[in-house]
Structure 1
Amino acid sequence: MEAIIAVRYFRTLIAIPGTIRALRSHIAGRVGGLQIIGPGHAIAASLCAASLLSGCGGDGVDQQADPLAAYKSQQIAWAPCNAEQTHGIPALTVSALGADLSCAQVKVPMDYAHPSSGDISIGAILFNPGGPGGDGYQFGALKASLARLVNPASGGYRGLYDMSRKFDFVGFSPRGVGRSTQLSCSLSAPLVHVDWLPTNLSQQNVDRALHNDKLYADACRNVPLAPFINTDSTARDMDVLRAALGDAKLNYIGYSYGTLLGAWYASLFPQQTGRILLDSSVDYDMPLPLQSQAVAQQTLYDDTISLYALTKVSQVALPNTLAGIRTLFTDAPDWSRDYLAARLYSVMPYHDAIDDTIIVMAAAYAITQASALHPTPEAYATALSSHIYFPNDPESNEEAQQVALGSITDYSEAVTGVYAPPQAPTDWVNPTVRCSDAPVSSNPAYWVSRASVIAREAPIAHSSDIDNPCIYWGPVTVTRPALSVAAKSAPPVLMLQSENDMLTPLAGAQTTLSALPSASMILVNGEYSHGLFPYGTACVDSNVAHYFLTGAMPPRNTVCAGYVLPGVVANASAASIKRAFGDSFTDPEQAQDIIERTRELLRTHG
């Protein structure tokens, strides 16, 4: 039984040399020297927004001369998982997998250039009956459990079920996160308040943002572990894991940033590359700090979200014109824009979070109205508490009210002019990978100029161009392997992409596709969700499953119809379809819970 490795993107999860903690489920078969008692599964490595890493070699090395031989030949000692190892995984999922869920550790070197310098740990979950996933850890368990609930007589999710009968799904926390050796950085001074940059690019405000950038860069740059938190090391970790599992080839599913990691691996180890799905792809050759999402976010909001919201104005307190809805966030007071942008960004990229998106929109409208006359903070809070957001939906009304009330601290600070220092960041791996993988300009003026242009084209979006510690990161030592190596020597890869994905826009995915002449892309028309597989339609899932099970590729440019929101016109080339869910699973309620938890992991780290 072979394994599949799955990875995610847009925030950062990277494996670190040392030990890989793993979980597996059983279903008959053997993986290398491991006794497996269950259907096969995949290796899910959850990583986030990071750029490609370099690296060369790794192919055709004589085992006796291979400095990694001890790592690749290590025996994985499976054992029942304890409560700490299954923490965060729904109890129902753990119970359903039962004895098929077990845990282990795999050692990897901290520094691949000097393997004898020491080990570190990588947290991992390996299953037999499952799917690819999130942190790599929980995500895999959730997919494994979902595959078990599929009704094989139904259509949509049958592809996931079929894959689970052949493959082991293996998930691991990439270096620096989760169960892996953690990257921890410390600020040398408090951060300072920065006004909403897109509307305040004054020198004083920009200088405050750059001050924070330098603090952020200095906090991590000189941490001993930081030089080894990069995509190149993670790709090499995956090859050690492949060898330790006893697999001749690496089968892999990568989401978002994970598409960079998958393409990186195929370029670094083309002879060890098996079947690879790149779901929601970034532009391989463009450093991540340069891959702006702002214009795609503005387009999605104007052309899709706003049209759908207009169909809801009889049910929720929103402007009753398309123009009013489109300017809802740009009409909000500047002091609220950062808060609202963060809330919107966390839900807007995902089709199944559309109700949450409308809730944020309702809160934004209330914030604008309640603050219009500049009341005292107490009066402002009272106005938000008495505002009617959803007249006939108490639950949504409560949720929107809570989102709006979350702005009280920002309002109070804006009224008094006294700002508390921003909280220190907790996500250190994301910037470390982004800044370590590829060189970018160290000239602040370059980034300010970019931010100014983007603010005009996409006023709804926050300016990540100036909130960018890479400006001060220093020299980059990682060398990105040429994608042409994968194009020439690795087996064909399969890509899956939403037409209107705002986090990994279609144009970047198509650039990657053009560099891989033997690859194929399944384009889901009318869809905007980030991270698709399994999608729940035969057109998408059967093509993916057929590729993994047989190696057969769909046509290079395959188009599948997507789920289109009511009130939004789908492209003429692909009709809107309705999601058929109930008969796809033996327990629809449990399946829905698993899918929602999986999506939440993508939202948290994507």
Structure 2
Amino acid sequence: MKKPRSLPLATPIWLASVLLVASLTGCASSGTQAASDKVDPLERYRKQAVEWKTCDPTILGNEEDWGDDPDEDEEIDISMDSAKRKYGNRLRCASIRAPLDWANPDRGDVVISLLRLAARKPDQRRGSLLINPGGPGADGLPMAFNIEQLLIEKGDAEHPERALHLQLVNEYDMVGFSPRGTGASTQLRCASNELVHTLDYSAAGMTPQNIANARYNNRKETEACLKNPITPFINTDATARDMDLIRGLLGDGKLNYLGYSYGTWLGAWYASLFPDRVGRMVLDSYIDFSRPLDFVPPQIPARQRALDDILIPYAVRHARHFQLGTSEAAVRRSMADLSARMQHTVAVPLMLTGYRRDGADDFLEIIAIARELDGLFKSMPKPLNFAAAEKAAQRLPFITRIPARKADRQIIAQRLLASYFESLRNPKRESLDLDFNASTYAAIRCNDAPASVDENAWEKRIKESAERTPHFFFGLYGNPCTTWTRPSVTQPDWSPLRSLDLLLVQSQYDVATPLEGANAFFDQLPRAYRVYVRGELEHGVFPYRDKNCVDQTVARYLLGESPAQRETVCPAHPLPLDARKPENRK
């Protein structure tokens, strides 16, 4: 089961996944103030007219960048043309104005773009459900119809919770939005002519020069972002206040909210500022809001734990399929014996496939293919020739041994080859140019409350992590916050959350929002409820398509019925090969 993609919290800033590419939108002038504005400068925002209209066909940008990978089993169709045909007048878009600086509205405006999929049964409408996919830096516009597709269109007609899912889309307007800095809203872009340094992500490449290169990149990223005048105003406090503006303009007395990943941090910030305006709030794969925001460090050991407890035993159970060895020690050797250059090559692909249950097969097949490529390169004449290597790689035993997997494994091999040879050629350095995803990620990470501001402590943490977690430590290289000039943003007192009946959702082996922080935060919220999926790897759980547990609890909560017990513990879905019948396993 795929969830709408969010920008992974652990993605290095300069390698953040591109969700879409669009141009920078400038800030509009606030215009001449009316006399009433002098009494309440925010009134013009709160009383603005919202014009819902047909969505521009290109509002989502390059739609091919939004869907699931073509080699994965289940795609979510988010093309605007398809959505218009499918949903008709239920689907509408709008843009609203919000102050660039909520503390000083005279600075000017930003534009916030909204997309609404109206309730199927307007006469039963209970309000809007505002949805955020996380990031920070992810564009949430398509979340409105992504959720309906996941709940209804991609769901099983015989699913036991289908009636509840239908009730959700019948009674809620699903609303997605581009948070300030992203997507179709006013965008943040950090760019500069300066050339960034190439980094080595292997443990063997963790040298003083590599750290110096990372310091240089972080400094240049900071300089580029701080040149942009809107950077200080891209922060969670401003986005939370934008959300309250959206709530009011939608005509809702309470904010009903579904947030994933960083979206849980955003939801907790909103609830701390406006506890009396919180309706039903689901925080799925959540961050510990009682501590300062520090994305990456907790994720490194969580990745290693998922590898040790979930992925390596899975490889052993299906040793014939993955060809990595029949014991855990053998699988570990398969990873450790990869050449330094190949470890660098697989670092990012392994990170990006480690968030999902459905990524487990790809994770292990990447390692198996990398091992065979290493062996192939040793047998080939030097210097290596890309065309010859590419041709030979398509005939490698691991790639060809299972016909049903041949095409997918060939795609993995082609991507690894291209990355490997690019690093061999000492690629041309490029100017620093962060898309809106990466720019907003950097701004919020450093504006909210950067924990990693001591460069010496940062360097020590990298060295220690390289020894303990050699395949995952490299995410620590990206840390522009060490040289960032912070605006006056203060995380609000979160004590109001103690009195709210929030619903938290968490999987045991989530590597992006690790369990330690999730447990610590839940323990401090006496009136909150939690759905906990034991043994699960998935980041972003709902909808889960299980029977009488995750989906039922979340749907009933959103429909006004809080769980009977404080914590609902649900069993995990099996990993892909574990779910197959024995006769179908290879």
TM range (shorter): 0.7 to 0.9
Q: Which residue of 1 aligns with 2:92?
A: 102
Distance 1:97 1:414, change over 3 A: closer
What secondary structure does 1:77 align onto?
coil
Contact residue 358 and residue 575 of structure 2 kept, 8 A = no
Residues in 2 aligned to 1:234 and 1:414: alpha-carbon distance in whole angstroms: 39
Q: Which of these residues, 256, 260, 263, is aligned with residue 255 of structure 1?
A: 260
Q: Does structure 1 conserve the Cα–Cα contact (< 8 Å) formed by 2:182 and 2:188?
A: yes
Partner of residue 421 from structure 1, selected from 429, 433, 437: 429
Say if 2:373 and 2:393, in contact at 8 Å, map to a contact too. Answer: yes
Distance 1:309 1:152 in 2: 33
Counterparts of 1:63 and 1:257, CA distance in 2: 34
Q: In the alignment, what sits opposite 1:48?
A: none
Report what 1:528 is aligned to.
Answer: 537
What amino acid does structure 2 have at the position aligned with 1:288? Answer: D
Query: Residues 440 and 474 of structure 1: is their aligned pair in 2 closer, same or farther, counting only changes over 3 Å?
Result: farther
Q: Distance in 1 between matches of 2:430 and 2:409?
A: 24
Correspondence 1:281-296 to 2 at 5 A: 281-284=286-289, 285-289=291-295, 291-296=297-302
Task: Give the counterpart letter for 2:523 in structure 1.
Answer: S
Whether the aligned pair in 1 keeps the contact of 2:287 and 2:518 (CA below 8 Å) is yes
Task: Return the letter of the residue paired with 2:146.
Answer: L
Contact kept in structure 2, 1:229 and 1:429, CA below 8 Å:
yes
Tell me if 1:72 matches 2:46.
Answer: yes
Contact 1:440-1:471 within 8 A present in 2 as well? no
Displacement, 1:153? 5.9
Q: What does residue 546 of structure 1 align with?
A: 556
Which of 310, 321, 327 is equivalent to 1:315? 321
Aligned counterpart, 2:384: 377
The residue aligned with 1:328 is 334
> For the structure 1 residues 119 and 413, does the alpha-carbon distance in structure 2 shift closer, same or farther, using more than 3 Å as the test?
closer
Q: Hey, what's the Cα distance between the residues in 2 that align with 1:428 and 1:175? A: 11
2:166 pairs with 1:155: no
Q: What CA distance in whole angstroms lies between the structure 2 residues aligned with 1:221 and 1:395? A: 50
Of 454, 457, 468, the residue aligned with 2:465 is: 454
CA 1:328–1:468: 2 relative to 1, 3 Å: farther
Give the share of equivalent positions with the same residue, in percent.
31
TM superposition shift of 1:536: 1.0
Pairing 1:133-144 to 2, within 5 Å after superposition = 134=133, 135-144=139-148
- Report the AA paired with residue 369 of structure 1: G
5 Å-filtered alignment, 1:95-494, equals 95-129=85-119, 132=131, 134=133, 135-149=139-153, 154-196=159-201, 198-284=203-289, 285-289=291-295, 291-372=297-378, 375-378=382-385, 380-394=389-403, 396-408=405-417, 410-412=419-421, 418-421=426-429, 424=432, 425-426=434-435, 427-488=438-499, 491-494=500-503
Is contact 1:213-1:468 (8 Å) kept? Answer: yes
| Residue 176 of structure 1, CA deviation | 0.9
Q: Following the alignment from structure 2 to structure 1, what is the Cα–Cα distance between the partners of residues 106 and 225?
A: 24
| AA aligned opposite 1:119 | D
Distance 1:544 1:190 in 2: 47
CA-based RMSD of the aligned residues comes to 3.0
* Deviation of the 1:346 alpha carbon: 1.5
1-structure distance, mates of 2:296, 2:183:
27
**Separation in structure 2 between the aligned mates of residue 191 and residue 356 of structure 1, nearest angstrom:** 30
Secondary structure in structure 2 of the residue aligned to 1:329: helix
Q: Distance in 2 between matches of 1:392 and 1:410?
A: 24
Moved more, 367-376 or 93-102: 367-376
Match of 1:501 in 2: 510
How far apart in 1 are the matches of 2:390 and 2:473? Answer: 25
The whole-number CA distance in structure 1 between the counterparts of 2:374 and 2:98 is 53
Do 1:110 and 1:119's aligned partners in 2 also have CA atoms closer than 8 Å? yes
Once residues 576 and 408 of structure 2 are traced to their aligned partners in structure 1, the CA distance between those partners, rounded to angstroms, is 23
Moved more, 366-375 or 464-473: 366-375
Displacement of 1:322 after TM fit? Answer: 2.5
Cα 1:66–1:270 shift into 2, 3 Å: farther
Q: State which drifts further: 522-531 or 365-374.
A: 365-374
Q: Distance in 2 between matches of 1:415 and 1:439?
A: 35
What residue identity is the alignment partner of 2:493? A
For 1:536, the aligned partner's letter is R
496-505 or 288-297: bigger deviation: 288-297
Are the aligned partners of 2:377 and 2:384 in contact in 1 as well (CA < 8 Å)? Answer: no
Which whole-Å deviations, capped at 9, do the CAs of 1:382-403 have from their partners, x for residues lacking one? 4423312243434532332332
- How far apart are 1:315 and its partner, in Å? 3.2
Task: Sort the Cα spacing of 1:389 and 1:481 in 2 relative to 1 into closer, same or farther, 3 A.
Answer: same
Distance across 2 between alignment mates of 1:540 and 1:363: 36
Decide whether aligned partners of structure 1 residues 96 and 203 sit closer, same or farther in structure 2, where only a CA change above 3 A counts.
same
Q: What residue number does 2:75 align with?
A: none
Cα deviation, residue 411, structure 1: 4.0
Match of 2:72 in 1: none
Q: How many residues align?
A: 520
CA distance in 1: counterparts of 2:576 and 2:54, whole angstroms:
47
The change in CA–CA distance for 1:234 and 1:301 in structure 2 (over 3 A counts) is same
Unaligned runs of 5+ in 2: 10-15, 29-35, 64-77, 121-128, 134-138, 582-586
Counterpart Cα distance in 2 of 1:429 and 1:468: 14
Q: Is the CA contact 2:288–2:520 (under 8 Å) kept in the aligned structure 1?
A: yes
Deviation at 1:283, TM superposition (A): 1.8
Q: Tell me how far apart the structure 2 counterparts of residues 269 and 8 of structure 1 sit (CA, whole Å).
A: 25
CA drift of 1:483 comes to 1.3
**Which has the larger displacement, 340-349 or 188-197?**
188-197
Matching of residues 24-35 of structure 1 within 5 Å = none
DSSP 3-state at the match of 2:305:
helix
CA distance in 2, matches of 1:323, 1:7: 33
Quote the Cα distance in structure 1 between the aligned partners of 2:422 and 2:148. 47
Structure 2 distance, partners of 1:199, 1:509, is 33
Gaps of 5+ in 1: 1-5, 20-61, 569-576, 580-606
The 1-side partners of 2:424 and 2:335 are apart by 20
Counterpart of 2:568 in structure 1 is 558
TM-score between both structures, scaled by the size of structure 2 = 0.81
Q: Deviations over 1:4-63 (max 9, x none)?
A: xx99563599x99979xxxxxxxxxxxxxxxxxxxxxxxxxxxxxxxxxxxxxxxxxx99
- Counterpart residue number, 1:49: none
Per the TM alignment, residue 534 of structure 1 is displaced from its structure 2 partner at its CA by 0.9
Cα displacement string for residues 282-338 of structure 1 (whole angstroms, at most 9, x for unaligned residues): 121132246431111111112211222223332344344322223433322222323
Given the alignment of the two structures, is residue 81 of structure 1 paired with residue 55 of structure 2, yes or no? yes
* Structure 2 partner of 1:512: 521
Amino acid at match of 1:79: K
Q: Which letter does structure 2 place at the counterpart of 1:348? A: G
CA gap 1:224/1:198 in 2 versus in 1, 3 angstroms: same
Secondary structure of 1:274's counterpart equals strand
